[in-house]
Each structure stands twice: as C-alpha cells, then as structure tokens.
Amino acid sequence: MSTEANGANRIDLRLTAAAGHGALMPYLTGGYPDLDATAEWIRRFDRRGVAAVEIGFPYSDSIADGPVIQDSFYRVLEGGQKTEQLFEMVAALRSQVQAALVAMVSFSIVRRVGTEAFVHRAADAGFDGLIIPDIPYEESSDLGASAAAHQLRHVMLVAPTTPAARAEEIARRSSGFVYLVSTRGITGERDELPHDLRTRVEHLRAVSSLPVCVGFGIGTAEHVRQVCTVADGAIVGSAIVRRITDALDAGQPRDAIVESVAQFVEGLADGVG
C-alpha cells in the first residue's frame, strides 16, 4: 500500500527527513533494460538513502520526455512489457525498500485503464504518488481527488513558461511536493542551471507550504548540490537513463551495467548533505 504502518505517506516522511540538506530523487524507466534491473537499482538507491525514486511508465507518444528517455520507452515497449507487469514488480518490491515510489505516467495510460482503476492499482501496488506531466490543469481535480482518497500524492509540474498566477494555482493543488521544471523544453541534461532558479523556488514557497523539488537538466553531483541549496530536492532522469543506454549499446554485461549505474547514482547522492 501507499503508506507506512503509521499511516503517513512516504513522500511526506522522506522529504521531512531531508529538510535542511535536500533530497535526491533518481528516475528510472520501469523495465529498462528489464524489470529485475529496475528493482535492483531501487534497492541500491534505497540503501544509499534517496528520498524517492520516480518510475517512468513507458509510453509511445510521451510529450515531455527528451530523446534519451523516449528511446528507452521504445526499447521497453518493443520487448512487449505491459503496464500490469510494472505494477507487479513494484508490489513485489514494496516491502523491501523505505524510499517513496512515485509513478511518472502519461495521462493517456491513465485514461486507457480508467482514472479510478489506475489510481487504485497504483496504491495497491505500493506507489506513494503520481506525476502525470501531460494532464491539463483544468482536468486534474478529479484525479487529485481520487489520489487523495487512496492516500496517494498527486505531484504537479510548474514550467518556466507557466504564468505566475497559474503557477500559484498549480502549487496549491499539488500534493506531496511541487515539481519545478528548471528549463524550457523537454527532459535532458544541461551544462548549467538557470540563473533565476532561486527566484522561482521562492515564489512557489510563498504560496505553498509544500517542498519544491527541481527536475529537468540535472546531471551531476554538483548540479544536485546547487539545486539543494535553493530547493528541497533534485530530480535526475536523463543522465541516469543515458548511462544505461550507452552501456547497453557498448555491449557491457548486464551485471556491470547494474553496478555502474548504481555507483553513478550513489555519486549523485554525494551532492546532498
């Protein structure tokens, strides 16, 4: 289930525990290169003390993900993996890890399954929250209510192009944390972080008591450190997935890939206190 024994949501607990030094939230494409590897990485990340792991649900027409993550989606889908298999992996893993598990999923998948059915299945599997980057704000209230009824957090995104008034509305409707997109465009690594990041974080904190976590463009331990000096957490995705792809394309043995990616994320964790 999506809560610990005391009834508190793990996202809330982990981000509260990370207050003052920041939280690392690595992202994995679920099932890339296979579900066992995904589970092993989550266990390794958990032992390193990460606050949460985002698990991406592969989808053929994702609009927010850059070429690195989109390519991983294609490879998983070509292998025939189904959504239910990802839920089953999380359910089997849930009792083994303390980190929060957050589903990053296209609204098209949610609608295909049915909003209530998807939310119920996610909670039953042991997810703690949902990030649905392509759901229109105007259509998000029903999903948010369903998530709340199942004790899931519905994390919403604020982009650099989001008008200030709308950003405030999104921050107030979000739960768990506010996902602040650091850069314009799709996911992917960047050489440097935007200069106005602190100002944007402070604006959201002025209208919401939720933690503010920053994603898109973060790819090094130094980036993580910089983000965590101004925000509550750093989300790293493309940099992790690219290392998996590069290792696969280089023909590295599976065990070596699992180990090298785990070590990379453990190094990213050095960026938080």
Active-site residues, by number, are 54, 65
Could you give the angle at the alpha carbon of 83 between the alpha carbons of 81 and 63, nearest 5°?
Answer: 95
Q: What is the rounded distance in angstroms from the CA atom of residue 273 to the CA atom of residue 54?
A: 21
Contact 208/255 with Cβ under 8 angstroms? no
Rounded to the nearest angstrom, the gap between the alpha carbon of residue 141 and the centroid of all alpha carbons in its chain is 21
Q: What is the largest CA-CA distance in the chain?
A: 50
Residue 112: count other Cβ atoms within 10 Å of its Cβ. 12
Is the previous residue joined to 33 through a cis bond, with omega within 30 degrees of 0?
Answer: yes
